[in-house]
Every structure is written in C-alpha cells, then in structure tokens.
Homo-oligomer: A and B are copies of this chain.
Amino acid sequence: MRLELLTIGTELLLGHTVDTNSAELGRSLAGAGVQVVRRSTVPDEPEAIRAAADEALRRTRAVLTTGGLGPTADDITKRVIADLFSRPMVYHPEIWESLVERFARFGRVPSEKNRGQAEVPDGATILPNRWGTAPGLWLEGAPGLAILLPGVPSEMRGLLQHEVLPRLVERAGGRVVRSRVLRTTGVPESSLAEAVGEVEQGIAPLSLAYLPGVFGVDLRITAWGLPPEEAEERLAGALELLRSRAGRWIYADDEVDLAAVVLVRARERGLRLATAESCTGGGVGRRLTAIPGSSEVYLGGVIAYDNRAKTELLGVDPSVFNREGAVSEAVARQMAEEVVRRLHADLGVAVTGIAGPGGGSEEKPVGLVHFAIAGRGGTTAWQQVFPGSREEVRARAEQAGLSGLLGRILGMQ
C-alpha cells in the first residue's frame, strides 16, 4: 500500500518547529508495510491545504494529514477534506460530551470555540483521542482514503499506534517494508562504494543506500512490500554479501552508537576503560556514559584541555610542550599511559588535536589529531587529519578514538 503525508503548519515552513512527526510516521508506516511515496508541507491556509490534499489523492489515492484539527482559527483541514469528498459537516454530540468531560477533569469548561471540534465530515469514522481534545478522522470515498490526525506529537503518536496502524495493516494484507543498517567508519563514501561494487543487481528487489554522516557511512538495505519471511531472508543474504565486501569497516549491524559497541566488547573481555581528552573536551566520555550500564566498564578520565591540566592531572612533562607541542605523538602517549596508570585501567585512549577554527599552522593544520591507546599490550599511537568545522573535527576525532579503542579490544582474547 502507498500513501502520501501532508503536514500542515506555517510554523513548520518557517522552520521554528522541526518536523519530528514526519520521521515517526515514516518509520511506523514502513514497519506496517505502507510505503510513504511523498511528503508535503503547506501553511495553515485553506487553499494551500486543499490543493495539496487534492494532488495527493489524485496521485496516490491515500493521504494522511497532521495538523489543523484543534480549536483555534487556523484549524481548517477537516473542512477542506469534507469539501474534497463532497460531504457535509455533521455535529456529533458524543464528541462534545467527551470534550466537556475531559475539560472537567482539569476543572475547566470548554469555550464555544471548541464546539466546532464536534463537527466531522459525514460518513467519517471517528478515531477517539485519549491524549488530547481533537479526535482523528478516517474517511473513505470516491477520491480515495484520507486519514486526519492532530499535529501535537503525543496525540499524533497515540492515534497512529492505536487507531491508524491496525487499520492499515489489515488493508495492506501481509506485505511489509523492512530495512537493516550496517554502520561503517574510517572510510569515505566513494571508496566504500568501490569496495562494495555493483551489488544493486545482486540484491534486487532490495535497495541499497549510502548515508554519509560525521561518524561514518551507513549502508541501508531495504526490502519493499514483501511478505515478512521473504523480506527477512533476502535482507540476511544482502547483509552477508555486504559484510563480505566491506566487513573491515563495519562496526555494527544496527543503529547503535560506536560507544555502545566498545562497551559491549570490553565487558565481554572484562576490561575497564579510561579516557584522556584534550580537543574533544569530554566528548568521548560523554558518549560512553550516555549508554546505561556504562559504569561497569568505563572508569572515567581526564579532560586535559589546557596544558596546565595535562601537567597537573596527568603529569605530562612541560618540556615536551616546548619540544613537540601539545598536539604531538609524545603528548598523546603520555596522556594515555598516565590515565591508565592513575585509574588502574586495562585500556585508555588519549585524543589531542587542533579542532579549529584557529590554532592551525602549515606543519600542524586545523583538523590534525594525535591518538594513543595504552594499557595491556603496550602503547600504540597514530594521527589523522579531519575535514570540516570545529564541531565536525571534534565529532570525527571522538569516533576515530573509539574506533581505535574497539580495534584494540577486538584484538584481545
């Protein structure tokens, strides 16, 4: 089954509200076997809503709208849709009564402004809204199917899960959209694509998308409108093919953070970890501690941002700053070794670099980061140059530090 989304709201177009409803709708509908073929956003204006709903119904014969069902003046979706379906509006006293009751629970009385909420297009199924005041509506007729939901995220979610998805799954009849992700890091999109090669034919009818981001490139494989078992079987085959070609860069087959993978692998081996960060300023620690249960593995560490902190908290010899600079292999090594020693950790990672925008030189450009890992098995060090803004250099450095740590952990039995 195919469907279009129509989200209504001037504030969405102005960008004052990020449209999180659409992402949630996309995921939930795909899981139920409904393919969203287009999404449109229009302002709270009857003509704009009418034109967009009309086009969507003509193109796809099914539209789901969010927004424009509440009591205020810009709530007009319901009337526009009634008009497109040539249905009169009908007053439902039971909607009004449940509204009065809901208001009474908070010690209030609905105003006459709310009375319009009890009017719905003739023939529409009323989807009861336990999370707010305006019910959802399900309307079928000559133009196709229209599903109207409120724009408030919690109300949209409640109606979607309890009223809309069950009805849609029934209509879709067994077919689903399923997808899997393989996460890679440390390889640019073009090199990854070369290693993977022309697999599109081999995995058809599944599709493959490359999703580059600051932490690496995700590979997403999607099965469209297949019976559930066939989808799972084909996905498993495609994952195996991709793993055989790009396995060396893959760190997860799910949308988890690299920090979570590091924690799982370290816990398996009974390792305790520590961090010593300069340019990332605590970002590696923050990502590790974002995972519930991280305290079993992660001890803590030092944010050695200023040289004074490198010396006072990690005993880095001040003469090294003069000789080698704070961004150097020598400093990274001392930081990693010292944090491991002070915390009695099994492994520690150190990150020191130039995040920019200032502070770069010809010899040591913005984006240069030195890493070291110390602990069981000795100390190793490496350097990388990352592109992008200060924020991106820091994010890439976090990721590379965690990736180095994971490599070291995986090498230990």
Contacts and interface: CB of A to CB of B under 8 A. Distances in A.
A313 B295 contact: no
A194 B275 CA distance: 45
Contacts of A108: 188, 191
A404 B72 CA distance: 27
Provide the main secondary structure of the chain A interface.
Answer: mixed
A243 interface: no
Contacts of A189: 70-72
Number of copies: 2
Contact of A281 (B290, B355, B356): B290
B37 A48 contact: yes
Question: Which bucket holds chain A's interface residue count?
Answer: 35 or more
Contact of A308 (B73, B343, B394): B343
Nearest to A306: B299
Contacts of A190: 71-72, 110-111, 113-114
Interface in A102-150: 102, 105-108, 110-111, 113-114, 131
Interface of A: 10-20, 22-30, 36-44, 48, 52, 55, 70-74, 102, 105-108, 110-111, 113-114, 131, 152, 154, 177, 179, 181, 188-191, 193-194, 200, 207, 209-214, 220, 222, 255, 274-275, 277, 279-286, 288-290, 292-295, 298-306, 308-310, 312-313, 342-344, 355-358, 385, 387-392, 394
